[in-house]
Amino acid sequence: MTLLLLTFNVNSAEVDPQIIACNSALNNQQYESAIAKANVAIKQKNLAAQGMMCKGRALLAMGKTEEAKAEFTLADKKASNDFDKTVANLLLGNLHKNQHQYQEAIKLYEASLAFAQKDDNRNYTRVSYNLIGEAYGLLANHEMALKYLEEGEKLAMNDNERADSYERLAANYQAQQQFDQAIAYQIKGITMQKKAGTLDQYAEANLTLGQMYTQNKDFINAEATFAKLIQFSQENGGAYYEAKTNIYLAQAKLAQGDSATAKQLFEQAKTIADKIQATDLTALIETSQKK
């Protein structure tokens, strides 16, 4: 979850209209408006914590990190229920994680986990487990990461959540260069994405799978995965992913020493990237060529 897209997991009927209005302004990137609405909510005792969290997220989006941290910290103190404390600690944890303060992030995620369990909130218990696992992974403590990610996977309730868990587990094994396990979990994630994910999520999952095959020097399966994804992208009008897949396929060709084919693939990708003005792909092409 990103800080900007984290929304409260309760029914709209249970949320005060002022908080709904604040979150709506925030999600529409109307940050000054969100702060103004949050300030009104903060004056009411029963809305103070949620108002502070919305205000903090707006401040963070504006680059005012320390002010946002202050709001999240105060929201935790002002929160009158376990759910608000869960979310406040998640927001604080995400902020510290984004500042590469992983140990502090873990402490905050552990707090959110405790409050979520106390609140009997299965969804945020799962989220907290996953975020703790992610933070341990960033510390290269893959054994601890696996422990928490497996707990998160046990709580997945639908195909979207299962896809998220499988791909997190795959990434953990990939980081350890245990590619057989990584590939097995990634394939399970792709199966879930095909059933319940968006086209973008399905495409990204397949790109990652192809990259795993490349890292494992299984070039036959890598190229087969990328070829299928190119066809899928063409059939679904996905020029962006057609170009991105060509880049990954070029990387696989380079890993095999086939620089001539790689050059052609980079050129094809750049033609598409320029046409759709995908500057991130242009940058990826340049980085890949330098490597």
Give the residue extent of every domain in the chain: 1-74, 202-291
Nearest to 232 by CA among 183, 197, 258: 197
Structure tokens at 64: 């005012």
Q: Is the pLDDT of residue 13 over 60?
A: no
The pLDDT of residue 4: 35
Are 239 and 275 in contact, with CB atoms under 8 Å apart? yes
Are 95 and 69 in contact, with CB atoms under 8 Å apart? yes
Say whether 202-291 and 1-74 share the same fold.
yes
> What's domain 202-291's architecture?
Alpha Horseshoe (1.25)
The pLDDT of residue 12: 38
The pLDDT of residue 14: 59
Q: How many CB atoms lie within 10 A of CB 275?
A: 10
The pLDDT of residue 10: 43
Cα torsion 123, 124, 126, 127: sign:
positive
- Per-residue pLDDT tens over the stretch 41-72: 999 999 999 999 999 999 999 999 999 999 99
- Per-residue pLDDT tens over the stretch 90-139: 999 999 999 999 999 999 999 999 999 999 999 999 999 999 999 999 99
Are 71 and 59 in contact, with CB atoms under 8 Å apart? yes
> What's domain 1-74's architecture?
Alpha Horseshoe (1.25)
